Amino acid sequence: MKRILIIIAVSCLLILASYFAFVYYVPYSNGYRSGELIRMSHKGVIMKTWEGEISQGVSGSQIFRFSVLDSDQKVIDDLNKLEGQYVKLTYVERYKTFSWWGDTHFFVTAVKKENSPFKFK
């Protein structure tokens, strides 16, 4: 009986570890988004996460919401410096998210300042 309980417990732990590894290491998609960075915030009561938004339309009607992992401190610093400017984001979309990662399924991994196509000289 004790052996069966140990086998069940180990099986449950392996399934749980496999699930976390799948969610963390297997992206659903990855790509780029460009727009004006309109918001960057550090929000949450118990688990603080970095969340942001870029406006992708002329009127601001197309909003792309994203999260940034706490381990990407350079990306967080760059986003905070570039708020209000036109940026190009490199992101990874995940199947699921956890509350300590962020609110969205989109996680920004790099940011680069771009020239806005909407500002004419």
Over the stretch 72-101, which tens digit does the pLDDT of each residue have? 899 999 999 998 889 999 999 988 877 778
Secondary structure of residue 14 in the 3-state scheme: helix
pLDDT of amino acid 95: 83
CA angle in degrees (0–180, nearest 5) for 70-108-72: 30
For residue 37, give the nearest of 80, 77, 85 by alpha carbon. Answer: 85
Distance from C-alpha of 20 to C-alpha of 22, rounded to nearest angstrom = 5
Distance from C-alpha of 20 to C-alpha of 98, rounded to nearest angstrom = 10
Higher pLDDT, 117 or 32: 32
pLDDT exceeds cutoff 60 at 8: yes
CATH 2.40.50.140 fits 27-113, yes or no: yes
Q: Which residue type does 16 have? A: L
Distance from C-alpha of 51 to C-alpha of 71, rounded to nearest angstrom = 14
The answer to whether the predicted template modeling score (pTM) of the entire model surpasses 0.85 is no
For residue 79, give the nearest of 58, 57, 53 by alpha carbon. Answer: 53
pLDDT exceeds cutoff 90 at 32: yes
pLDDT exceeds cutoff 90 at 62: no
pLDDT exceeds cutoff 90 at 66: yes
Q: Is the dihedral of CA 74, 79, 85, 88 positive or negative?
A: positive
